[in-house]
Chain A
Amino acid sequence: MLATASELVDLVARTARRDRTAFAALYGATSAKLFGIVHRILQRREVAEEVLQEVYVTIWERAGDFDPARASPITWMATIARNRALDQARRRSHVPLDEAPEALQVASEDKSPLDAALVSDDYRRLLDCLEGLDAERKQMVLLAYRDGLSREALAQRFAKPVATVKTWLHRSLIQLRQCLGA
């Protein structure tokens, strides 16, 4: 079910007023996107499902806090999803599967209006700025953000000490901020 950004704003607002039908519609419009984000980080189906459940319960509880002036609804929801997935991934008890995620996935051809809310100039500008980083550092940033790799996992992956990973990421982020100009 596709939904525009303004439709999502309306669904979130109605969810805040405890409209269950609107909440179900919100779920229908966004759950695949959020599940993709969560599963990419956690890689284990069952854990990802439990986390996604918690994410939507949180969305239900916090719908009243959403401010459309601050962020788009999908970004707001995706942030909740990412944070919850990362909290789970960083637990000592979480064991990720030993798979190599693709470094840079090409965006799907049929760009839904949902993605349009995330994309546009911001995405192009960010990709351009990422190109300004060394190839390895760009990889590190992407693996950290999209795949949720920890410093230790990145250190192993790039055969560098954890301290170096920290420094590289720190410098890369500063460079990105300067490039983005805001």
Chain B
Amino acid sequence: MTEREDIDALAAEYVLGTLDAGERAAVAARMRREPALATAIAGWERRLSPLLTAIAPLQPPAGLLARIEAAIDERERAPASASPGGPGVVELQRRLSRWRGAAVAASALAASLALFVGYREWRALSEPANFVGVFQKDDVSPAFLLAVDLKTRQLTIRRISAEPQPGKAYQLWIASARTAGRPESLGLIGDREHKVDLARRDFDPAILQTATFGVSLEPAGGSPTGQPSPGALHTKLMPALP
């Protein structure tokens, strides 16, 4: 087969849908750099898309548009910056999101939260990450700061004002589309920074942008049930300060 035929065959299988996950990702990446492949794919989409006519429409749930708009809001809103010239309270808006299986309630975390995080500390954590999340008990007491670099898919979380609890551990969770919202553990958060390689765990950026992250307080070895204990704090990613 000539190279042109190879590219066309690959494009056809991509559009048809039968490539596996790795092959799909490879094609998606190549498509951006190779106009010949992009053109071949466009050609196959044009040929096959009439088949979509016969697929019956299905009404999505009534609240979905609101969730979409909320996701867009978070993407577009930048957190308000603190007054320059010294540490102060960083006020960040938090958006409640669905958190399956755990009620958001007053918890043992509440007792241990201090009030302030310095602006500088915020900046230090959020560079070079381009998305951040804040776990707050209320508007003025960030317990943890989360930073995610969506390009490298590296996550860092740091305990800010949450106090260590003897005999207990803070555990980080993610609830996303890939598990239909069921929380997956991302490990225990120690005293220092806790880092997670999300690329190794097969999370792609689109999933991370709409995922909900949670922190729960668990017995020393982590959750005995494999799911977060009630009272977890949660957050979603929003763009970091420029």
* Residues of A in contact with B (beta carbons under 8 Å apart): 20, 24, 27-28, 31-33, 35-37, 39-41, 44, 46-47, 49-54, 56-58, 60-61, 70-71, 75, 78-79, 82, 84, 86-88, 90-94, 104-108, 115, 118-119, 122-123, 126, 141-142, 144-146, 148-151, 154, 165-166, 169-170, 173-174, 176-177, 180, 182
Q: Which of B52-92 contact A (CB under 8 A)?
A: 52-61, 64-65, 67-69, 71-72, 75
**Binary CB contact string for chain B from 1 to 38 against chain A (1 if under 8 A, 0 otherwise):** 00000001100110011111100100000000000000
Residue from A28, A51, A145 in contact with B17 in the complex, judged by beta carbons closer than 8 Å: A145
Alpha-carbon distance between A149 and B207 when the two chains are bound, in angstroms: 22
A137 to chain B, nearest CB (A): 12
Please name all residues of chain B whose beta carbon is closer than 8 Å to the beta carbon of A170 when the two chains form the complex. 9, 12-13
Asked if B64 and A52 make an inter-chain contact with CB atoms under 8 angstroms apart, the answer reads yes
Nearest chain A residue, comparing its CB with the CB of B16: A144
Interface stretch (choices B125-133, B137-145, B175-183, B223-231): B175-183
Alpha-carbon distance between A71 and B17 when the two chains are bound, in angstroms: 19
Please name all residues of chain B whose beta carbon is closer than 8 Å to the beta carbon of A87 when the two chains form the complex. 21, 24, 204
Let me know if B48 is at the binding interface, CB within 8 A: yes
Asked if A32 and B45 make an inter-chain contact with CB atoms under 8 angstroms apart, the answer reads no
Please name all residues of chain B whose beta carbon is closer than 8 Å to the beta carbon of A108 when the two chains form the complex. 56
Asked if A118 and B57 make an inter-chain contact with CB atoms under 8 angstroms apart, the answer reads no
Asked if A27 and B68 make an inter-chain contact with CB atoms under 8 angstroms apart, the answer reads yes
Residue from A32, A92, A145 in contact with B57 in the complex, judged by beta carbons closer than 8 Å: A32
- DSSP majority for the B interface? helix
Asked if A91 and B206 make an inter-chain contact with CB atoms under 8 angstroms apart, the answer reads no
Nearest chain B residue, comparing its CB with the CB of A150: B18
Closest 9 A/B residue pairs (Cβ): A50-B177, A32-B57, A123-B50, A90-B21, A36-B58, A173-B12, A35-B60, A46-B180, A36-B57
Asked if A78 and B49 make an inter-chain contact with CB atoms under 8 angstroms apart, the answer reads yes
Please name all residues of chain B whose beta carbon is closer than 8 Å to the beta carbon of A28 when the two chains form the complex. 65
Please name all residues of chain A whose beta carbon is closer than 8 Å to the beta carbon of B207 when the two chains form the complex. 54
Alpha-carbon distance between A176 and B43 when the two chains are bound, in angstroms: 12
Asked if B17 and A82 make an inter-chain contact with CB atoms under 8 angstroms apart, the answer reads yes
A83 to chain B, nearest CB (A): 8
Please name all residues of chain B whose beta carbon is closer than 8 Å to the beta carbon of A91 when the two chains form the complex. 21, 178, 202
* Residues of B in contact with A (beta carbons under 8 Å apart): 8-9, 12-13, 16-21, 24, 42-61, 64-65, 67-69, 71-72, 75, 176-181, 202, 204, 206-207, 209-210
Please name all residues of chain A whose beta carbon is closer than 8 Å to the beta carbon of B17 when the two chains form the complex. 41, 82, 86, 144-145, 148-149
Asked if A57 and B24 make an inter-chain contact with CB atoms under 8 angstroms apart, the answer reads no
Alpha-carbon distance between A28 and B50 when the two chains are bound, in angstroms: 21
- Contacts A27-B65, A27-B68, A52-B64; A177 near B47 (Cβ below 8 A): yes
- Provide a sorted-by-A list of 24 A–B residue pairs whose CB atoms are within 8 angstroms: A32-B57, A36-B58, A39-B58, A49-B61, A57-B71, A57-B72, A57-B75, A75-B52, A79-B45, A82-B52, A86-B24, A87-B204, A91-B178, A94-B178, A119-B50, A126-B48, A126-B50, A145-B48, A145-B51, A170-B9, A174-B9, A177-B47, A180-B47, A182-B43
Please name all residues of chain B whose beta carbon is closer than 8 Å to the beta carbon of A148 when the two chains form the complex. 17
Please name all residues of chain B whose beta carbon is closer than 8 Å to the beta carbon of A37 when the two chains form the complex. 52, 55
Asked if B46 and A49 make an inter-chain contact with CB atoms under 8 angstroms apart, the answer reads no
Nearest chain B residue, comparing its CB with the CB of A122: B50
Please name all residues of chain B whose beta carbon is closer than 8 Å to the beta carbon of A36 when the two chains form the complex. 55-58
Asked if B21 and A118 make an inter-chain contact with CB atoms under 8 angstroms apart, the answer reads no
Most buried by A among B17, B48, B54: B17
Asked if B58 and A123 make an inter-chain contact with CB atoms under 8 angstroms apart, the answer reads no
Please name all residues of chain A whose beta carbon is closer than 8 Å to the beta carbon of B60 when the two chains form the complex. 31-32, 35, 49, 52
